[in-house]
A and B are shown apart, each in its own frame.
Chain A
């Protein structure tokens, strides 16, 4: 069965430091890949997505993600974190065979220290 894993439940990072969130998927073909962010008590906002082409994808709020087929990974990065980046981050995948059904990873909660 298809699955998506975010190995880190919590990450604490100092403001101004870099951030990397990991995401791994399990599926035979290349899925459609997404990163969403959810601030406390809010809905989900799309940060970026990857379907094909250039494996380094730029998103909103200074985030980028890199697709690595050999590692079945789609890690999210930000060079310099701001206090407002404290939130829950979800990696999600959609597979051609499943229509537009999103499967989410368990999420990574990011805490930002002053």
Chain B
């Protein structure tokens, strides 16, 4: 079973709101990722967690705050976002953080900032 589950599927939030995106996998993977995808563009890496430690932060603004409570869960906390942050946020996981480990993606959370 290669499944990454993301909730919610759709989220509309105001610029002063605080919300969170959640991601869960039960494949025993030890690396988890957040990607951001704007319309008609490829996904762009935001964060990588490897063995529950943040290993890559692609210079993402601090209004995005990742959290990895355990090896199965990954959250993305959102605060004071801008309309240009509206996008599809994809969570993904892989067995490890080594190059070539297949990365499995969830279906994404559609975020609209108003």
Contacts and interface: CB of A to CB of B under 8 A. Distances in A.
Interface stretch (A18-26, A67-75, A88-96): A88-96
A49 B6 CA distance: 24
A54 to B, nearest CB: 16
B45 A102 contact: yes
A100 B96 CA distance: 8
The interface size bin for chain B is: 20 to 34
A104 B43 CA distance: 7
Interface residues of A, number: 24
Interface string A96-114: 1011111011110000000
Contacts of B66: none
Interface of A: 32, 34, 36, 41-46, 49, 51, 90, 94-96, 98-102, 104-107
